[in-house]
Amino acid sequence: MEKLQAQDSGVYWCATYRGSHLMEKMEVRLSVSKRTQQCTAKESGKVSVQCPYSAPDYGAVSKAWCKEGDSPGCRVLVSTSYSRTPQKGRVTIQDDPQQGIVTITMEELQAQDSGVYWCALHEDAHLFRMVEVTLNISDGEYWPVEKKRGAL
């Protein structure tokens, strides 16, 4: 089984048959968990995310950075389909197939950039999630500013 996703978790059976007779069977329990990251960045700032993958298995496969939305699936923002370092506006994706790391950088962040993103394998117009990233953009005000008594 390749490109496993969380919904592939469950009980599977391996069996051998001789003719129409079941000879052996074995139960296999598979648990697939997703790798998630949480990122917080300031508005108008930038954030870089690194997503590891198995270099021998997926080094030659295109990678993508996409954002989940209201519709099912994930909308691709950038992909390495044509180049190892493509850029689209404020977003860049860089693949290091020797190390097995994809690095995504988003600049000039805005409040609407908050959301759930995927680092994904991008193969035959399909996306296979490697890492899920929840990005929260703050306006930079983490606590209220207190006025000192007597200050103007």
Q: Give the domain ranges of the chain.
A: 1-33, 35-138
> Quick one: which of 3, 110, 113, 6 has its CA closest to 68?
113
Write down the CATH number for the domain with range 35-138.
Answer: 2.60.40.10
Give the whole-angstrom CA distance, residue 113 versus residue 116.
9
Region 127-131: mean pLDDT is 86
Q: How far apart are the first and last CA of the chain?
A: 68
With a CB cutoff of 8 Å and minimum separation 6, the contacts of 101 are: 50, 51, 52, 53, 95
In this prediction, residue 85 carries a pLDDT of 62
- 13-17, 118-122, 147-151, range with the lowest pLDDT: 147-151
Structure confidence at residue 93 (pLDDT): 94
- What are the tens digits of pLDDT across the range 79-119? 998 666 666 689 999 999 999 999 999 999 999 999 999 99
SS (H, E, C) 95-107: EECCCCEEEEEEC
pLDDT at site 146: 46
Is residue 105 a contact partner of residue 48, using CB atoms and an 8 Å limit?
yes
The amino acid sitting at 22 is L
The average pLDDT across 6-16 equals: 77
What is the pLDDT of the chain when averaged over all its residues?
82
CA 48 to chain centre: 13
| Cβ proximity of 114 and 137 under 8 Å | yes
The DSSP element (H or E) to which 57 belongs, if any, is: helix 55-58
* Chain segment 44-78, per-residue pLDDT in tens: 899 999 999 888 888 999 999 999 987 777 899 99
